[in-house]
């Protein structure tokens, strides 16, 4: 897989549950999104974390087991003939995850971790680097360069909001054209940019009512792709339910976004 995949439609979509909860749910979510994206000619990558390493509390759900979750991601890809993406957190995870998925994602907090970026690059997979909440868009040039200097030109860069005070994020849409200047596709992480982290309860909050607003603005600004976490029942999701899009609302949103892109 290379970057040509991401240029075949009005924009591309990375979407799925925050974390792999079980096989049945992963397949059900993927089946519905595949049907929607095929209808609207949107290149689609199924997203699911095989393990959540960055949680607020030690008793938070982290996953069903690494190999079990990775095999589910592999099954989703083979069942529907679509690429898949998952997060990695340490350098030694890159080779393992690369056996099962097509895109390796670098979490925002880890975007400066040189060993992690180099390990991901050396797998030959597409590497999606999320911009740190603490970084300017211009600084992401150096994260991308770590991948390309390792012999891998297949880089995606993702905007996911910037820290605004202690418990909120704000989206600076200038980041999208700024990062596009580096020559790589730029993704807007719609749902994570609406998180309200570091809440006193130890559970991350969110503003899902603004998902459509952020997505529309990103497409209008010219984002190449969107990242959206979605779930049939966000209130009962095991991770990040506070800022996920109900799966039943996805097609309505995408249809509006396609029309915006066509108008441009």
**Which residues lie closer than 8 Å to 81 by C-beta, 6 or more apart?**
none
Q: Buried b vs exposed e over 25-56: b needs ≥16 C-beta within 10 Å?
A: bbbebbebbbebbeebebbbbbbbbbbbeeee
> Residue 55: is its pLDDT beyond 80?
no
pLDDT for residue 202: 57
Cα 24–Cα 158–Cα 63 angle in degrees, nearest 5: 30
Q: Is the pLDDT confidence value at 43 over 80?
A: yes
Q: Mean pLDDT across the stretch 81-86? A: 98
Residue 240 has pLDDT above 70, yes or no: no
Residues 110-116, mean pLDDT to the nearest whole number: 98
Q: What is the pTM of this model?
A: 0.93
Q: Determine the Cα–Cα distance for residues 111 and 156; give it in Å rounded to an integer.
A: 12
- What integer pLDDT is reported at residue 195 of this predicted model? 82
Rounded-to-integer distance, Cα 71 and Cα 2, Å: 22
Residue spans per domain, the chain:
3-263
- pLDDT at 242 (0 to 100): 77
Mean pLDDT, the chain, rounded, equals 93
Rg of the chain's alpha carbons, rounded to an integer? Answer: 17
Residue 200 CA to residue 198 CA, distance in Å, equals: 6
Whether the per-residue pLDDT at 144 is higher than 60: the answer is yes
**What percent of the chain is modeled with pLDDT above 90?**
82
Q: Which of the four pLDDT bands, split at 50, 70 and 90, describes residue 238?
A: confident
Q: What is the CATH number of domain 3-263?
A: 3.20.20.70
Q: Determine the average pLDDT of the residues in 72-95.
A: 98
Kind plus residue range of the DSSP H or E element containing 175: helix 175-180
Residue 156 above 80 pLDDT? yes
> Do residues 251 and 36 make contact, with C-beta atoms less than 8 angstroms apart?
yes
Reported as a single tens digit per residue, the pLDDT across 160-218 is 999 998 889 999 999 999 999 999 999 999 999 998 876 655 556 678 899 999 999 99
């Amino acid at each position: 897989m290379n970057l040509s995949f991401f240029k075949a439609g009005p924009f591309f979509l990375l979407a799925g549950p925050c974390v792999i909860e079980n096989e049945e749910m992963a397949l059900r979510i993927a089946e519905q999104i595949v049907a929607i994206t095929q209808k609207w000619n949107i290149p689609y990558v199924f997203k699911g974390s095989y393990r959540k390493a960055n949680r607020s509390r030690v008793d938070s759900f982290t996953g069903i087991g690494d190999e079990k979750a990775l095999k589910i991601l592999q099954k989703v890809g083979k069942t529907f003939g679509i690429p898949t993406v998952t997060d990695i957190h340490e350098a030694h995870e890159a080779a393992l995850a690369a056996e099962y998925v097509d895109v390796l994602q670098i979490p925002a907090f880890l975007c400066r971790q040189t060993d992690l970026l180099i390990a991901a690059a050396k797998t030959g997979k597409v590497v999606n680097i999320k911009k740190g909440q603490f970084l300017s868009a211009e600084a992401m040039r150096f994260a991308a360069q770590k991948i390309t200097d390792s012999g891998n030109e297949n880089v995606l860069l993702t905007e996911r909001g910037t820290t605004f005070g202690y418990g909120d994020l704000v989206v600076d849409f200038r980041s999208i054209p700024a990062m596009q200047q580096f020559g790589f596709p730029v993704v807007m992480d719609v749902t994570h940019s609406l998180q309200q982290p570091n809440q006193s309860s130890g559970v991350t909050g969110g503003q899902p009512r603004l998902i459509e607003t952020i997505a529309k603005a990103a497409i209008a600004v010219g984002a190449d792709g969107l990242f959206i976490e979605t779930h049939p029942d966000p209130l009962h999701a095991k991770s990040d339910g506070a800022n996920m899009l109900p799966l039943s609302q996805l097609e309505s949103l995408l249809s509006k976004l396609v029309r915006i892109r066509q108008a441009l």
